[in-house]
A and B are shown apart, each in its own frame.
Chain A
């Protein structure tokens, strides 16, 4: 089935992915997190012991499912292509930026849409930064930015990331080696089987539809093409209906329990870095997982960069804290971005400019 030959079918892909996210939120994933690539990679990195923040450690089956879903559907439909060789270490750094920027905002672009659908005005503010970041990436593209071409490589190479994900799943199911949060967001999750199936379905539909949050805005700015935005639009509508129907819609800035903060400048700059890096890397965090699943070792490097970036965000105190409600005093404690996080975002943006405007097409010839 070709999901991309009409906008109706693209909308259907977004609808299915929205239903998966709504279902996972209903069955236990953290409030308005539902399906966040950066948060779930951070949790999985914690489960593997890459960081020691005890409240965010859990091997999220959704991440495993996304990669395996994309791998299985691409193999089944003969779209699996093992490729590599397009500036892997630069992509690793871009992966780190994707994770750090996301954890300063407290969510990847996918979660930004989910938060927007729940009325979280901080996410609407962050959208400004994300669009500006994608726009800056488009300027870099127009100036000749390139990381060089990828080449076909040994078939085994592209399969490494799916196998590693399978390995994490086996460790999670058959051993007690992985860490698992007893409180906090890491302790909140849907049943493992449901999360895995949800990830597989989401991964398959994202692979077929080429769902990408950065790509959708890139295509509108660059070509006035709204195909990818159609998917995001229908995803947003499904989540909006879910949030209104379940009483989770709250149009406000200070929203304790949502895992968000209201430092507007840093919400904007965090997502600016993510949007910029995503265009340079050729896709948002979700898209990187899908590309890694369908055989791209370059995207697999970006995914590994996201794991390390997420771990560093907690080990070095870069990640923002969320606005919280003290259950005893009923006082709201405002979430904030630590000084280290602010410095990291500035560095991330500077690195994006260096990568974006010093890697020229002519240098690859």
Chain B
């Protein structure tokens, strides 16, 4: 059984930003995946980007290069 581990969760103002993040990270070969925004973060039903904590700097670079605006950065226990 998989255990929950602490991960980095990037939330966005729009679903389109999350989709753009997925595309940008794939191009830059930065690991991560789209997830529904964890309930403890928001009552909304948008998408978020989930990545290992170690990828924080790379993610910030990718977002800056592609003009993707984050809403917030969180650390959450996730599968």
Contacts and interface: CB of A to CB of B under 8 A. Distances in A.
Interface of A: 2-5, 74, 79, 81, 86, 141-142, 144-150, 207, 210, 212, 215, 219, 222-223, 225, 227-228, 282-283, 287, 291, 294, 360-361, 364-365
B77 to A, nearest CB: 9
B75 to A, nearest CB: 16
A364 B67 CA distance: 12
A141 B19 contact: yes
Given A144-B16, A219-B36, A294-B43, 12 more contacts: A5-B39, A141-B16, A141-B19, A145-B15, A146-B14, A148-B14, A207-B43, A223-B33, A223-B47, A282-B46, A360-B16, A361-B17
B26 interface: no
Interface string B15-46: 11101100000000000011110111001111
B20 A144 contact: yes
Contacts of A147: 14
B56 interface: no
Given A212-B45, A282-B45, A361-B20, A2 B34 contact: no
The size bracket of the interface on B is 20 to 34
Contacts of B43: 74, 79, 81, 207, 210, 294
Contact of B14 (A2, A3, A149, A291): A149
21 contacts: A3-B39, A4-B39, A142-B19, A146-B16, A150-B13, A207-B43, A210-B39, A210-B43, A222-B34, A222-B47, A223-B35, A223-B47, A225-B35, A225-B36, A282-B15, A287-B45, A291-B44, A360-B16, A361-B16, A361-B17, A364-B14
A145 to B, nearest CB: 6
Contacts of B47: 222-223
Given A79-B43, A210-B43, A227 B20 contact: no
Nearest to A79: B43
Contacts of B17: 146, 361
Contact of A144 (B19, B40, B46): B19
A365 B36 contact: no
A4 B16 CA distance: 24
A219 to B, nearest CB: 6
A3 B36 CA distance: 15
A122 B21 CA distance: 40
A4 B35 CA distance: 14
Contacts of A222: 34, 47
Nearest to B67: A365
Contacts of B46: 282
Contacts of B19: 141-142, 144, 361
A115 B17 CA distance: 37
A120 B2 CA distance: 40
A365 B14 CA distance: 12
Contacts of A361: 14, 16-17, 19-20
Contacts of A74: 43
Nearest to A142: B19
Contacts of A2: 39-40
A207 B42 CA distance: 11
Given A219-B36, A294-B43, A145 B67 contact: no
A8 to B, nearest CB: 14
Contacts of A150: 13
A3 B40 CA distance: 10
Nearest to A223: B34
B14 A227 contact: no
B33 to A, nearest CB: 7
Contacts of B38: 4
